[in-house]
């Protein structure tokens, strides 16, 4: 008689997998909302509206960044490179408009 060699494998996601998926979901839920993002690499600051999430990249219509020439265009930012972010929610503080008075 043949033995049944079927093994049931249960794949439990790691804490990193859970964290990464939750982070992506935050940006998916924020599509259409304003966002403030800090990254450890140049240009460091992005303020704009979340347009889309593609894989693990968030597409932001950037209105303000540290370099004026890089503003008013869409940026694709790798979500795992984001150090700090704030997505505006109804009833919560708004991201201030940063303007230079000349």
Encode pLDDT of 34-89 as tens digits. 999 999 988 899 999 999 999 999 999 999 998 889 999 999 999 999 999 999 99
Backbone φ/ψ region at 25: left (φ over 0), alpha (ψ -120 to 50), beta? alpha
Q: Nearest 5°: phi and psi at 44? A: 75, -45
Q: Does residue 20 contact residue 80 with C-beta atoms inside 8 Å?
A: yes
Q: Whose structure tokens read 């972010």?
A: 85
Residue 78 lies in a domain: yes
Residue 82 lies in a domain: yes
Q: Is the confidence at residue 99, as pLDDT, over 70?
A: no
Tokens, residue 16: 């990193």
Residue 40 lies in a domain: yes
pTM: 0.82
CA distances for 45 relative to 3, 26, 42, 62, angstroms: 61, 19, 8, 10
* Number of structural domains found in the chain: 1
Full residue range of the structural domain in which residue 83 is found: 33-87
């Amino acid at each position: 008689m043949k033995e049944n060699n079927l093994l049931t494998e249960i794949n439990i996601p790691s804490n990193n997998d859970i964290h990464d998926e939750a982070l992506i979901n935050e940006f998916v839920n924020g599509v259409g909302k304003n966002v403030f993002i800090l990254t450890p690499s140049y240009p460091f600051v992005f303020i704009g509206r979340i347009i889309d999430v593609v894989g693990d990249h968030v597409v932001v219509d950037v209105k303000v960044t540290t370099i004026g020439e890089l503003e008013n265009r869409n940026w694709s930012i790798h979500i795992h490179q984001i150090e700090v972010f704030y997505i505006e929610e109804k009833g919560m503080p708004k991201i201030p408009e940063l303007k230079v008075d000349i």
